[in-house]
Structure 1
Amino acid sequence: MQQRPDRLSNIEITFLISSAILGVTGLHLPRLASQIAPQNPILATITTGILACVFLIVMVALGKRFPNDTIIEYGSKIAGNFLGRILGLVFIFYFLFTSGTILRSFASAVKGILLKDTPLEFIMITMLLTSMYLVLNGISSLAKVCESFSPLVVLVLSLVILLSIKNFAPERVHSIINNDIISIVQSIPHIAPAFLGYEIILFIYPFMFDQEKVLKYSLYGITIPIILFSALVIVAVGVFGIDSNALSMYPTLEMTKYIEFPGAFAERFDIFFMVFWIIGSFINLSCFYYMATLSITRWLGLINYKPFVIVLFPIIIFIGLLPQNAYQIGQFLKYVGFIGIAINITIVLLLLISILTHKKER
């Protein structure tokens, strides 16, 4: 059977989900984990990743009940038109603010590390224009880009982890391992934003070519960032320690400055890493940009999403310019994460309502 061009393959699903999670977060996740859970940042990160897997399984189970709809449509079918419309609005604002926050985080990092004399607005507009071009080409093009470049991003992150092991001090990790369950649970809401992005499954389910294997390949997709993020935190703690990680703006980038290839193949691995980090951030932003445009299109009951790609462009720029400093960017990320968690809990409730309603009808 010849695959239709608007259908996504299994491997594309895997890399779409991993790309929607991997992005700007990898640069500062060790700092975030060390600040939020200094007693055990490693176990807190792993636990949060496992919880994200659970939510993903719930989303796939819900999507199987409505294989031809996105969450915007079947949310109204389950919860009623009024509550469904409110849920749709929440998704729209969530994706818009996430896109703006990702864009600003990316631009601030690029300006601070690479382009110190370049206006922040120019970096943001250039990045979003590139992302807009990709989103205008549809979900198939976005999936192809994810499939082509995400493996390279994963490879480079893996190299950072492997090549940093020579600077790894096991005693730094052993000193923080404990069974403080309460601190780990308290840290989950703060670390959870690092793993958000798998919600894309709620919008791409109708485009899947083989819906029977969606759970398997979706779990592949989320497992990749869970392993990478957990390994990054472990290695960063082993290289710098808790206190240094908590004070460093970008611990992952700092690790790359100590990396040397055998034979002096590359003296500036940090520049090499930044190139692929930019690619990962671009794909990450494009995923949320696409979900924002698709959400508002389906919420309004329209078919063509492309006009909204242009309409939402200045809105995302405006949102990205709202934070005035690094602290406010962090606050934006925190609040966006809390909204994402609330959405995940709502999805669980929708699944339960759907199951109970189905049993009642039977």
Structure 2
Amino acid sequence: MSAQTLSEKLIGKNHMGLNIASVTIGVGILTFPRTLAKATGAFDGWISVLLSGAMAYGIAWLLAKLASRFPRQTFFEYTSLIATRPVGYVLTFLVCIYTLLFVAFEIRAIGTISKQYLFFNTPVEMITLSFLLVVQYAAAGSRISLLRLNLVFLPIVLFVMAVVLAFTQPLIQMENVRPYFSSSWSTLLKACKDVGISYSGFEIILFYTMLMKRPQDATKSVLIGLLIPVVLYAIIYIFVVAVFSTEVAKNLTYPTIELAKEVEVPGGFFERVESMFFTIWIMTIFNTCAMWLDITLLNLTSMFRRVDKIVWILVLSPVIYFISMLPQTLINFFSFGDWLVYYGIVIVYLLPILLFGIACLRGVKGHE
């Protein structure tokens, strides 16, 4: 029997917060300045970032309250308690579809962006397949070990992002940010929808609260986990607009990478900073994909206890790869991502909030 105690196998609220931040800072960090610049057409888009972050925290708080109400139970188990076992099966299966599609979207993003910036002559199919093999290897291991990787990877990603922003500071042109506060409130609120898509990821609190030492601290974890990307997104948008202007940002496919390309290290001893930035960013996408695949496995094994996790990995991997290769163009790829987020709004936002309301009305609670 392992000498580890139960508490040593669990994670704290700060650690959970870092996991949420890591999942949230995914593909969205590369593209959101473009969508936000299109929606607002002004420097004021950072206000939409803060407003949408506050809205995201409100939703995340409700999801955290639901999960912490059933401390040591899986999503399938507490859904079955609240709304009967058949409903639990249906809802958990729909969640599995969502998480599976998210893995497919993320690995295709890696393939597409890697080919554009790093591996010019490598087929996107091979890049995507290689990344999927690494992700499934990670998901096959210990769940707690996977979550603890964020303690190593996320600080490195944030440090590199800070270096990029520091070196682009001399490129800021004040005429690009004027006039200030020129957008109407209706425009800023409408833009919240576009940037809010980039906050997808905090819903992992529904599934990983059971692994926390103190599940009642889940609401504090989502605050930590969303505060990091909200501040980071606001700063990145300000820098992108200040360096390129909103008109240019509207036409950049990946404005954050383009910002990194503008960096010039004094002395000229290091070129192509965007390659280093992108390579470090892959760390975040790796953990994001691995956690989404792990959540898929967690939900499937909670419903079908006799089927081993490795069997599910072998069955699901070809399906994930096939789905990831369906978008034929970049427009199709972004449309796939938008559709996926809207599907997630219903499945992992609205329905769990409805379940939380039913649990409160019926007085249904779990046990420690």
Q: Could you state the TM-score of these two structures normalised by the residue count of structure 1?
A: 0.92
Question: What amino acid sits opposite 1:51 in the alignment?
Answer: M
- Aligned position for 2:18: 15
List aligned pairs for 1:81-120, cutoff 5 A. 81-120=85-124
Alignment of 1:29 with 2:32, yes or no, is: yes
More displaced 10-residue stretch of structure 1: 14-23 or 331-340: 14-23
More displaced 10-residue stretch of structure 1: 106-115 or 31-40: 31-40
Q: Find the aligned partners of 2:52 and 2:263 in 1 and give their Cα distance.
A: 29
Q: Find the aligned partners of 2:190 and 2:83 in 1 and give their Cα distance.
A: 30
Alignment of 1:290 with 2:294, yes or no, is: yes
Aligned partner (choices 322, 337, 343) of residue 333 of structure 1: 337
How big is the shift at 1:173? 2.6
Q: Could you state the TM-score of these two structures normalised by the residue count of structure 2?
A: 0.91
CA displacement, residues 269-318 of structure 1 (integer Å, 9 cap, x when unaligned): 11221110121211121121111221222233557433212221111101
More displaced 10-residue stretch of structure 1: 210-219 or 320-329: 210-219
Gaps of 5+ in 1: none
Question: What amino acid sits opposite 2:15 in the alignment?
Answer: E
Gaps of 5+ in 2: none
CA displacement, residues 105-144 of structure 1 (integer Å, 9 cap, x when unaligned): 1110001111111111111111011111111112112112
Determine if contact 1:66/1:74 at 8 Å carries over to the other structure. yes
How big is the shift at 1:3? 5.2
How big is the shift at 1:68? 1.3
List aligned pairs for 1:173-192, cutoff 5 A. 173-175=177-179, 177-192=181-196
CA displacement, residues 127-177 of structure 1 (integer Å, 9 cap, x when unaligned): 011111111112112112111111101111222223222212234233363
List aligned pairs for 1:51-70, cutoff 5 A. 51-70=55-74
- Aligned position for 1:146: 150
Q: 1:37 to 1:293 in 2, by over 3 A?
A: farther
Aligned partner (choices 235, 242, 245) of residue 241 of structure 1: 245
Question: What amino acid sits opposite 2:11 in the alignment?
Answer: L
Q: Find the aligned partners of 1:76 and 1:13 in 2 and give their Cα distance.
A: 25
How big is the shift at 1:263? 3.9
List aligned pairs for 1:242-261, cutoff 5 A. 242-261=246-265
Determine if contact 1:88/1:295 at 8 Å carries over to the other structure. yes
Q: Find the aligned partners of 1:232 and 1:156 in 2 and give their Cα distance.
A: 13
- Aligned position for 1:348: 353
More displaced 10-residue stretch of structure 1: 113-122 or 173-182: 173-182
More displaced 10-residue stretch of structure 1: 62-71 or 300-309: 300-309
- Aligned position for 2:220: 216
Q: Find the aligned partners of 1:189 and 1:346 in 2 and give their Cα distance.
A: 19
Count of residue correspondences: 359
- Aligned position for 2:77: 73
Q: Find the aligned partners of 1:4 and 1:134 in 2 and give their Cα distance.
A: 23
Question: What amino acid sits opposite 1:260 in the alignment?
Answer: E
Question: What amino acid sits opposite 1:110 in the alignment?
Answer: S
Q: Find the aligned partners of 2:274 and 2:220 in 1 and give their Cα distance.
A: 35
- Identity over aligned residues, as a percent? 26
Q: 1:351 to 1:174 in 2, by over 3 A?
A: farther
Q: 1:310 to 1:273 in 2, by over 3 A?
A: same
- The alignment yields a C-alpha RMSD, in angstroms, of 2.1
